[in-house]
Chain A
């Protein structure tokens, strides 16, 4: 097992009510960890056996997720050893994450003070996101 300070690098979790299939959730969690810089090149993903024991899922579910990640060129399987990260999704922008996160936190606090509930906040964010994406295209 690959460890940093004795702990596995990442652990998977499944949300039964998300409507996203378990294998997709595993793919998303790896991609997310790569994007946030939690996983680096050379890090080992949980072995199939570890993931299966933790999640109580069918081994094929984990294999399918790892195959898709391999196909995307993000990880490589070393037979008999495990699956390792070969490319990360974080880039130079990672350094900007900290300040942006702080700013977003402050914005969220402001939105709550103004009386918005979680649903309104999400709707507002998605709406602004979508219209600014549309502007970018136009």
Chain B
């Protein structure tokens, strides 16, 4: 199967700073992919490269098997909702749908109207008068009604209150249950993504730290606690992601190929949040991608 997003050595430089560096990634189709990382990790840069709004400084990226933004045909296969869910404030909801119908050859007007009714939007309401949650729902409906093969959402729930967040994710999941499509959405909060994503890409310090199926990631990581020990003495196949030590005790987060057999360790499973945080703190200790020393705290 072709990857929906395939990046090789992808990088984007602004002045002396690499917003994204050395990104090699294969995202399999049919997944709901969570792109998670702190603000400034490079998530938006990667998404804007994927939709063709930016051109790479280094490396290549292919989306659905082709270079992004090549032509109208390619654009029609990708739905994109930018961070601030841009709409036309003076236009009513119904006019947004009409505009969508004019501009998109594969527009599904029946679906768009049904979704608008489902989430309780008034077609006569001007977009500028909608609440944040309603704006997000309208933007998602517009992106979906063009029937894309890949839906890309940049921080779709960041600005929403908890109820609007839940409602937005309910709408998104009901869309995913109906249509055969791949979704990539970014967030700086892993809690938002935990339920909806089956594939996770952790970004920090302008780099992809780890990527994979959520189930496999959880199965491959463990927290070990035991008597103080030099992590370099661990068996091959156990990679230390995070470590902390007291005089007598060591606590490690490791990526392991198989079960941890050493009886000296107390072995625990990790939550997805702990796993993400372990990679983020490792990235912070290793420093930013441009290699310059900088003050981290």
Contacts and interface: CB of A to CB of B under 8 A. Distances in A.
A59 B177 contact: yes
Contacts, number: 46
Contact of A56 (B195, B198, B218): B195
A55 B177 CA distance: 13
Given A57-B196, A60-B198, A52 B166 contact: no
Prevailing SS type, chain A contact patch:
helix
A49 B196 contact: no
Contact of A59 (B166, B176, B191, B271): B176
A122 B196 CA distance: 33
A58 B271 contact: no
A64 to B, nearest CB: 9
Nearest to B32: A58
B198 to A, nearest CB: 5
A95 interface: no
Contacts of B240: none
Interface residues of A, number: 17
A9 interface: no
Contact of A53 (B170, B194, B195, B197): B170
A56 B191 contact: no
Interface stretch (A14-22, A98-106, A126-134): A14-22
B160 interface: no
B177 A48 contact: yes
Contacts of A56: 166, 169-170, 172-173, 195-196
Interface of B: 32, 166, 169-170, 172-174, 176-178, 191, 194-198, 218, 271
Given A14-B195, A57-B195, A57-B196, 15 more contacts: A16-B194, A16-B195, A19-B271, A48-B177, A49-B174, A53-B170, A53-B173, A53-B174, A55-B195, A56-B169, A56-B170, A57-B173, A58-B176, A59-B177, A61-B198
